[in-house]
Amino acid sequence: TTPSHLSSTFDITQCTVRQSQASFLRFLALDTTNVMVKKQVIELLSALCVYSADGHRLALDALDTFKTMKKLRYRFSLVVTELRTTELVAYKTTLMAFINCILVSCDDDLHERCRIRSEFIGLNLLDIIHNLRNEDDEDLIIQCDVFDDEKTADDEALSAEMSLQLDVTDHRAVFDAVFQKVYNTPTADVFLHILQSLLQIDQDDNLSDNQWALLEMAAQKTLHLDNARLEKVDAMMVDRLLLPPGGQKKGDNFTERSVQTEDLALFSRVKDEQTPVSPSTGEKVGLASGALVLNGQTVIGGANRPPNLQFGQPVNSALSPITTPRPKHKMKTFNWSKLPAQALTSTDDNLWKEVLEMDDKVKVRYDLIEELFCQKAAAPAKTQEQPKAKVPTERSMNANIFLKQFKASNEEVVRMIKEGQQARIGAERLRGLQKIMPEKDEVEMIRNYDGDKEKLGNAEKFYMLLAQLPGYKMRVEGMLLKEDFRVAMDALKPNVDVIISACEQLMDSETLKGFLRYVLHTGNFINAGGYAGNALGFKVASLTKLMDTRANKPRVTLLHHLVGEAEKEAKDVLEFAKELLPTLTDASRLNVDNLTAEGKQLEGSVNKLETQVTAADKDVQDQFNAFIKSAQEELEETKAKMEKVADLTKKLCAHFCENEKTFKLEECLNIFKTFCEKVIQCKKENEQRKLQEERAERRRKEQEAMKAKSKEKIKVNEICESRHERIHRASDTYVRVYTASDTRVSRLWKGYIQTMLSTATSD
């Protein structure tokens, strides 16, 4: 960047800062598909941020305005989305630099800087930065390093300020610290009530952004209030803030508002210190300043609204409707809109008053009107003898729909059921057939029907044929069980085998034991001298905390260190992750209780069918006996495997010295599955970080070499200048001494001097 370019940039920023916000936003050209234009605008915003506090404010206001115009939920959505989706590496670098400028320009306000950084992190910026490090671009890597380094420094400063020996950016760690602080104290119930209230916030509702902002502001301000001001806020402010919409406590005096100006200000600086509260929320907070609604009546300045007239209450009026005789027949309806009596009495001069007072100009012929507009009596329909055998309409309709799925006659469908052709019918159609099975009373009604069968509907005809088949319901249920049993067993048996394999692999893995030994040794050293030191072992759940323990080096956790050192010393000690992960991934999706229940359900269905078949006809027995025997053998085999799972669960619990009462196999498998994933992830991240550090080291050496070369050049120039000075002094001295006496010698000496000068220059 040339000095002239920097000068012009600062001239632009000075002009822009002096402009009003509206003028600045007109200049903003973020809403474009041209990446280069957006890149230049982001560069200008970055310059604004670092130029002055006003520039920083204008840049954030511009993002807020863009959020409102584009109906985005968060003000930094634009920046993070562009960073995630753009393909241009230079634009990515500019966006990361803009983020760093926003954070660095927060002056010395640590909490404001952390709050803004949390907004970016909430939009998954950390994951994006992790992916950006795969780009082979030095400038981009530098910007990512700046973000991580500044974050680490701020986190340490925040922890030091709070005098806490924990990571204040870790949600779980902070929650545990608060819980331990209030545990077994009266405040524990208050803390629980606060959590219950927070749980009711709907995160999908845009209103939640303002709710969280208000809660954050209230929590921060409450920490800086003394007892007197807290009592005043509690008595005069919070109750009004929490008033239900349209309500006010009895006896509230509107003049009290002036007393609470100072305390109200503590809760009204959302616009200055947080994301601006929406107008709707602001209106809810300021209910006391407008009209209130009490019991359905609007109160303005304390005046009550007159009560409403009761429905049907007579209205005094001198007007009476036109009298007519009652028709002899039921008449049709003339759908006009009647005017209420109040509408005629509200004004003295109106049309209808005159109409009611005048005489008829045209005689009304009631008999003709009645003849023309009476309701005609419906002609009695010709009654046809309906068949007495009639199933409910809905069941009949469902049966007809089902039967249309078969391109066969009712007789053919019944024959398929009799012969047990479940493969031809299919499981889905068997399920549909099961749903339309006739009830017992309907079957009796159809069997007793002695009328003309041709007058029956299609559903009734089908049911009549079905009722003639002995054990039709059992046949359908048996065929469906044969279809479902095969599908269920094909899924159940491999699932049980996967769980058995996962348990056995966990107990037999030697490389896992070696790595757990390394974890135990390292953990005892870290915890030496404390209550957690000298451990003989640790619970399986502790493996999840290896990623939570952060090193002093950015982007390094205890697990990163353990994996990195293990790779250096003995690479095979990490083989357990690749060996166990496929099986653990499959097993972690399963639930032993569900598998057991599924097996018992199948066993119950098969036993029920066996009981029914035993009492059925011989053709039914021949149809299902082979299936029942085969199914029971498979179920016994599966039952034995489930017993093995139960036995392995106890062994696994004892293997890891867990509490048998609280140990759950599913949780254990999930923990080890996640642990193996994290080990593989750390291994990959260590390799990436190593490459990045090597590139950074090359850049550092190149910079040092350039500095050394620059210093050497300066030194050579100094030596040359020194030689020039000595030669010139010698020349001048000689000339002064010998010029007068020997002109020839003087000329020779000067020639020699010039030769030396030219030699020194060439050197």
Single pTM value for the model: 0.49
Helix, coil or strand: residue 236: helix
Whole-number pLDDT of residue 10: 43
Helices and strands: H and E segment counts in the chain = 34, 2
Task: Count the Cβ atoms, other than its own, within 10 Å of residue 99.
Answer: 25
User: What would the pLDDT profile of 458-504 be if each residue is shown by its tens digit?
Assistant: 888 888 888 888 888 888 888 888 888 888 898 899 999 999 999 99
DSSP assignment, residue 604?
H
Check residue 120 and give left, alpha or beta (phi > 0: left; psi -120 to 50: alpha): alpha
Whole-number pLDDT of residue 234: 54
% of the chain surpassing 70 pLDDT: 70
Whole-number pLDDT of residue 44: 84
Domain assignment present for residue 277? The answer is yes
Q: What is the CATH number of the domain that holds 616?
A: 1.20.58.2220
Please give the full DSSP string across 683-711, using - where no structure is assigned. HHHHHHHHHHHHHHHHHHHHHHHHHHHHH
Residues in the chain: 763
Domain assignment present for residue 92? The answer is yes
Domain assignment present for residue 537? The answer is yes
**Do residue 52 and residue 87 come from a single domain?**
yes
User: Final residue of a domain: which of 637, 665, 693?
Assistant: 665
Tokens (6 digits) for 318: 């001198």
Euclidean distance between CA atoms 418 and 412, whole angstroms: 10
**Do residue 150 and residue 265 come from a single domain?**
no
**Do residue 357 and residue 446 come from a single domain?**
no
Backbone angles phi, psi at 152, to 5 degrees: -60, -45
Domain assignment present for residue 222? The answer is no
Identify the domain containing residue 640 by its residue range.
506-665
Euclidean distance between CA atoms 231 and 219, whole angstroms: 15
Whole-number pLDDT of residue 582: 94
Mapping DSSP onto H, E and C, the string for 88-109 reads CHHHHHHHHHHHHHHHHCCCCC
**Do residue 424 and residue 362 come from a single domain?**
no
Domain assignment present for residue 746? The answer is no
Whole-number pLDDT of residue 75: 86
Euclidean distance between CA atoms 180 and 194, whole angstroms: 16
Contacts of 261 (CB under 8 A, 6+ apart): none
Whole-number pLDDT of residue 676: 94
Please give the full DSSP string across 505-536, using - where no structure is assigned. HHHH-HHHHHHHHHHHHHHHHHTTTSTT-S-S
**Do residue 294 and residue 404 come from a single domain?**
no
H-state helical runs in 19-69: 21-27, 35-51, 53-69
Q: What is the CATH number of the domain that holds 418?
A: 1.20.58
| Cα Dmax for the chain | 164
Q: What is the CATH number of the domain that holds 124?
A: 1.25.10.10
Amino acid at 501: S
Whole-number pLDDT of residue 289: 35
Burial pattern 704-719, b for ≥16 Cβ within 10 A else e, equals eeeeeeeeeeeeeeee
Amino acid at 361: K
Tokens (6 digits) for 578: 């690749």
DSSP assignment, residue 584?
H
- Would you say 43 and 51 are in contact if contact means Cβ atoms under 8 Å apart? no
**Do residue 118 and residue 40 come from a single domain?**
yes
Whole-number pLDDT of residue 503: 94
| CA distance to 517, 676, 720, 757, per residue, from 652 (Å) | 18, 18, 81, 90
**Do residue 369 and residue 411 come from a single domain?**
no
Contacts 24+ apart (CB under 8 A), 524-531: 526/558
- Residue closest to 214 by CA, chosen among 289, 268, 171: 268
**Do residue 565 and residue 653 come from a single domain?**
yes
User: Final residue of a domain: which of 639, 665, 691?
Assistant: 665
Whole-number pLDDT of residue 279: 39
Total domains in the fold of the chain:
5
Tokens (6 digits) for 704: 């040092």
- Would you say 623 and 478 are in contact if contact means Cβ atoms under 8 Å apart? yes
Whole-number pLDDT of residue 287: 34
Domain assignment present for residue 305? The answer is no
**Do residue 265 and residue 362 come from a single domain?**
no
Whole-number pLDDT of residue 455: 76
- Would you say 30 and 66 are in contact if contact means Cβ atoms under 8 Å apart? yes
Whole-number pLDDT of residue 497: 94
Whole-number pLDDT of residue 369: 75
Contacts of 380 (CB under 8 A, 6+ apart): none
Euclidean distance between CA atoms 192 and 194, whole angstroms: 5
**Do residue 462 and residue 570 come from a single domain?**
no
**Do residue 515 and residue 628 come from a single domain?**
yes
Euclidean distance between CA atoms 260 and 252, whole angstroms: 14
User: What would the pLDDT profile of 389-439 be if each residue is shown by its tens digit?
Assistant: 556 677 777 777 777 777 778 888 888 888 888 888 888 888 888 887 878
**Do residue 608 and residue 528 come from a single domain?**
yes
Domain assignment present for residue 319? The answer is no
Domain assignment present for residue 314? The answer is no
The helix (run of H) or strand (run of E) holding residue 6 is: helix 3-18
Q: Give mean pLDDT in consecutive 10-residue pieces for the chain, a chain of 763 residues.
A: 42 46 50 81 85 83 83 86 88 91 81 86 87 85 87 80 64 72 69 80 76 76 63 55 48 40 41 41 36 36 39 50 82 71 71 74 75 69 50 73 78 85 81 80 78 78 82 86 87 92 92 89 85 84 86 85 86 88 92 90 90 85 87 91 93 90 91 93 89 85 83 70 62 53 53 58 52
- Residue closest to 576 by CA, chosen among 492, 648, 519: 519
User: Final residue of a domain: which of 641, 665, 689?
Assistant: 665
Cβ burial, residue 576 (10 Å; 0-12/13-18/19+): buried
